[in-house]
Amino acid sequence: MSGSHRFDPNFTDAVINAMGPKTDPRTREVMAALIRHLHDFTREVELTVDEWMAGVKFINLIGQTTTPTRNEAHRMSDVLGLESLVDEIAHKHVNESGEEPTSSSILGPFWSPNAPFRENGGSIVVSPHQGEVALMHGTITDLDTRKPIPGAVIDIWQASSNGKYDFQDPENQEPNNLRGKFRTNEKGEYWFYCLKPTAYSLPTDVTRAGAAGELFKTLDRHPMRPAHIHLMMTAEGYKPVTTQIYPRDDPYVTNDTVFAVKDDLLVDFPPLKGDPKAKLDLTYNVRLAPRDGKTAPMKGIARLLHPFSLTSLFPKMRVPYAPKEASNPEDASIYSRIAARRAPRPLIPLDLALLQSPPVADGWNSFIGAIRTKTTLSPALREIAISRVAVLNKAVHEWNAHGALALKSGVSQEGLQTVLNTPVIGKGDKVREGDAEGLARQDWVVLAYTDQMTRGVEVDDGVMESLKGFLSDREVVELTATVAAYNCPRTLYVPSRRHASTKHPKGFVPPTQADLNELRERVQEFTRREIPEDIAQKTDHDNEFPNAMWKKLGEAGFLGITADEEYGGLAMGYQAHCVVMEEISRASGSIGLSYAAHSQLCVNQLMLNGSPEQKAEFLPGLISGEQIGALAMSEHSAGSDVVSMKMTAKEVDGGYLLNGTKMWITNGPDAHTIVVYAKTDPSAGSKGITAFIVPTSTPGFSCTKKLDKLGMRGSNTGEIVFSDVFVPTSHILGPLNRGVRVLMEGLDLERLVLSAGPLGLMQAALDITLPYTHTRKQFGVPIATNQLVQGKLADMYTKMRASSSFTYSVARAIDESHEDPVIRTQDCAGAILYAAERATECALDAIQLMGGMGYVNEVGAGRLLRDAKLYEIGAGTSEVRRMVIGRVFNREFAER
């Protein structure tokens, strides 16, 4: 058996595994991810030797440019957006009421630990300058109690009016010019004099540009940073905050070259009267979070409307997207200008439609920019209005963006939930009189004004008068323009259709192939990041599901593919579900199987058969990944023969007592919610079985044994026992004694979605076999040049493609007939029958083609075989599937 070398398909794992046993666990985790992504990048772009050497020289240039007063590596991390991303990950927290501390921003390379303490009322302006002096003042308060924090330290530093910091400009500035530290008084107040900051360019000249300058030139990027003041706030017992604040009128706040600007860090410098030391005024208040406070990652927005929705990625437009490249120089400049305004984010779908008329797109984009950065309207009121327009127009993209901005601007999570759920306040409807449900009186007026403008244009006189009671005329105009601006595009979108289908979610529109391709790319991106080969191997080896994966799947949006958006789902169909199932199974068969048991057998069953109350109670937690789902039908003596089940449900006051045992239950050892089938009328045969929703926290429930399986290891499977488990009547799923109908309604769709699992396994077999056979040499040539090897590869590929065509043609037919779904039992059973058997054959071929390497466990070929075999047994054996198809033909001919 020959040893592996660098051309082996496990090369990356070999590099990672070279780390010794004394490596710190966190270092191992970080370095393993770095190596894996670096290798994937190299493969993805097919990096040439010349490009690799250019990269080496570039890294050398970073070191050569660095001096005691210039940290080029730090600057490069800023230019690439890395520091801003790290900052976002590290500091995105809220308190229990949904409020955030003062936003953080990047530290930058110019902070100094040697800044002197100065007295409140003093000035950090020491050297001559050409700028405008401002009086900066504010209070530092506790995020939770809102009480002032005495003795807090605010450390400030900024560039001079020539765009240089003190140690960059020793000829013109004294040490610690425009630097200082101040302590708050007993009221939490601070005040001092500084300069209104000036925008400046990162170095681009030949002698000073260094690595950053070379990168700007290569990527055709501008080097400008918007004007800003650096701040670092610290206080004993509180989490420190490092941030930057920016003049709202600076032209570069929408296109910062280091991507550090956040909307709530924009400030105004109004004129200051009566102070001979300063011409401008700057108020900046700070909120610090207690170090031991109950903070949690900000996640409220994701539970309201999920960010990963095809309606947000690919809204159907009544006009097609414009070409990606402009047809003439004038339009090209407009394309570039809009892209610069959006940077670092890509153009949104509306931009792509409006660019059918570039001047209109340019004006529209400028109009939106003015609303976002030039108005005096309170950010909280502005974001409430925009978020409400998004709700009324079902604009998922805008909701995701502006719901998050509303939270940042001070709107509580309760208030944002109210914006989402409040019925439309029409003309003549009563408006809330006081503070309620997380919104203040003025918020309710803005909500009513937005609703009436959006739904009917005409606004009640009373609402307008209330609005003018707390807004200036200018602010009323700005609010009106904001609501109008975000309402305008809705006529360009194709409205989502509602239909009578009981198999698809509300508002379902069949996806295009481009939609499915984009979804596939996003799932592949997820699996590369979250389910690399070492995770798949560990899951199999340890026979343990990586439980952190559930929330990651939920955050990605994959757990509610076929569920309504109101419960956090994506409102997509079965083609999309097959895509996700295939790609997750391609990364790990066992994770894919558990995923399907959760998303199809549990979530989709609840979606198809649950009452509105049941869906509202169970689906949000299951779709977010906070809860794990399963389905329990099989017993020791009842698999495909459902009616022979022994488990009973005896009616008692208020519900039923469940007694019995279920076997081979995927996710059974981990589940929080299980759909369970039991006999409520044992004498009635198939008409005496009922489906129940059972929380596993109910007394009397237990998982007595986790099974040690041949394959699909880590997809935790167990025997579960019910001993007088009480289930209230409200937890009956579907009609009483009609559980077999509930089961059969979902069974065809279950077979269809599960058939995508073998597709992923076949693709995984090709993923490891094709590179190996083209790099493994015998007699001086790759073994893939051998015709017998070519024959096996061709067979594997053909089986995979034929199986894929079968599965997706069935899924497409169901999706496209969604208004009156056509679900053919023989097609769903045939899809999994064919794919399952072909997957086992492909896995065997992969082992054979890889020879000795295929037979050892360090390569995944053996795991693929063990996983594939399950699909010939579970969810009905191959023999039962053939019987099912044959019986369909029998019925058809009997009816002739």
Handedness of CA 360, 365, 321, 510 (dihedral sign): negative
- What is the distance between the alpha carbons of residues 786 and 251, in angstroms, rounded to a whole number? 64
Phi, psi of 656 (to 5 degrees): -140, 150
The residues, ordered by sequence, that sit 6+ positions from 270 with a Cβ below 8 Å of its Cβ are 280, 281
Cβ(408)–Cβ(103) below 8 Å: yes
Cβ(347)–Cβ(339) below 8 Å: yes
Specify the residue for token string 């999570």: 413
Beta bridge mates, 752: none
Crossing angle for the helix pair 739-754 and 825-850, to the nearest 10 degrees: 40
User: What string of DSSP letters covers 14-64?
Assistant: HHHHTS-TTS-HHHHHHHHHHHHHHHHHHHHHT--HHHHHHHHHHHHHHHH
Shortest CA distance to 665 belongs to which of 687, 685, 647, 684?
Answer: 647
Shortest CA distance to 317 belongs to which of 358, 356, 346, 349?
Answer: 349
Angle (nearest 5°) at CA 205 between 329 and 64: 125
- What is the distance between the alpha carbons of residues 755 and 771, in angstroms, rounded to a whole number? 26
- What is the distance between the alpha carbons of residues 791 and 800, in angstroms, rounded to a whole number? 14
Cβ(326)–Cβ(332) below 8 Å: yes
Cβ(554)–Cβ(625) below 8 Å: yes
- What is the distance between the alpha carbons of residues 849 and 853, in angstroms, rounded to a whole number? 9
Per-residue exposure over 726-763, b if at least 16 CB sit within 10 Å of its own CB, e if not: bbeeebbbbeebbbbbbbebbbbbbbbbbbbbbbbbbb
Residue 823 structure tokens: 């679900």
* DSSP label of 314: S
Identify the active-site residue in 100, 533, 635, 750. Answer: 750
- What is the distance between the alpha carbons of residues 870 and 761, in angstroms, rounded to a whole number? 12
Side chain identity at residue 412, one-letter code: S
User: What string of DSSP letters covers 521-578?
Assistant: HHHHHHHHHHS-HHHHHHHHHHT---THHHHHHHHHTGGGTTS-GGGT-----HHHHH
Is 44 annotated as catalytic?
no
Handedness of CA 44, 45, 46, 47 (dihedral sign): negative
- What is the distance between the alpha carbons of residues 732 and 724, in angstroms, rounded to a whole number? 16
Crossing angle for the helix pair 473-487 and 441-456, to the nearest 10 degrees: 50
- What is the distance between the alpha carbons of residues 377 and 476, in angstroms, rounded to a whole number? 8
Handedness of CA 52, 58, 61, 66 (dihedral sign): negative
* DSSP label of 166: G
Beta bridge mates, 693: 675
Beta bridge mates, 650: 657
- What is the distance between the alpha carbons of residues 511 and 314, in angstroms, rounded to a whole number? 9
- The number of helices, as runs of H, and strands, as runs of E, in the chain is 31, 23
Task: Report the relative pairing of strands 133-142 and 286-288 from DSSP bridges.
Answer: parallel
Shortest CA distance to 859 belongs to which of 11, 178, 163?
Answer: 11
Element holding 287 (H helix, E strand):
strand 286-288
Residues with active-site annotation: 750
